[in-house]
Amino acid sequence: MHPNIQDQRVPHVWRIAILGTIAALPATVVLNWLPNSELTIGGGVLLVGPTIAGAVAGGWSVDPSAAGLRAGFLGGIITVTVFIFTEGATVMWSLNMIVLFLIAVVMLLCISPVFGLISGRIGGWVANYVADIRADQAL
């Protein structure tokens, strides 16, 4: 029995989460142009990505919380990766530092989906609010 091709596709929730995560990269660059902004790439992807994913999810009839949760997890992975590639070479790695780093990574990957869930709900709420205003103006 051959598997169905449609069963192998990426679910809509994950597509929207990936889209929000990718869209957060240029959004973070634009936000860094604001005066006194100190938003890092990791932080921008961790907070802006789920918000974008939640807003997009509202338009696609997908749960914004689910899309935000997944985008938050992807943002946590990107945050850790950016830290390793930018600061990893300058850190004096000892056994204690490695253990502390691994604990911090686990904590970040556990809490980033929660931030994503909250940001996704905010993005979904904003998208629904704007859609309601547009619908009222059309009448």
Please identify every stretch of the chain with a pLDDT value under 50, giving residue numbers as ranges. 1
Closest of 12, 130, 5 to residue 71, by C-alpha: 12
Q: What is the pTM of this model?
A: 0.83
Long-range contacts of 108-111 (CB under 8 A, 24+ apart): 108/76, 108/79, 108/80, 109/73, 109/76, 109/77, 109/80, 111/76
Per-residue pLDDT tens digits for 49-66: 999 999 999 888 889 999
Per-residue pLDDT tens digits for 77-93: 999 998 888 887 888 88
Q: Rounded to an integer, what is the distance from CA 20 to the centroid of its chain?
A: 6
Domain range summary for the chain, segments of one domain joined by +: 5-138
Compute the distance between CA of residue 126 and CA of residue 66 in angstroms, rounded to an integer: 16
Q: At residue 62, what are phi and psi to the nearest 5 degrees? A: -115, 145
